[in-house]
Structure 1
Amino acid sequence: MNEDKVEGVAIANLIAVDENNIVGWVYRWNTGALAIRWDVHGPQRVSKLYPDLCDADKAEIDFAFLTQMPCPDD
Structure 2
Amino acid sequence: MKGLSVAGTAAMFLVGGGILGHGIAPLHHAVEGWVAGAGPVLGTLLPLLADGLVGLLAGALVLAVVTGVQRLRKPRSA
What TM-score do the two structures reach when normalised by structure 2? Answer: 0.24
- Structure with the higher helix share, 1 or 2: 2
Higher RCO by CA contacts (8 Å cutoff, separation 6 or greater): 2
TM-score, reference length from structure 1: 0.25
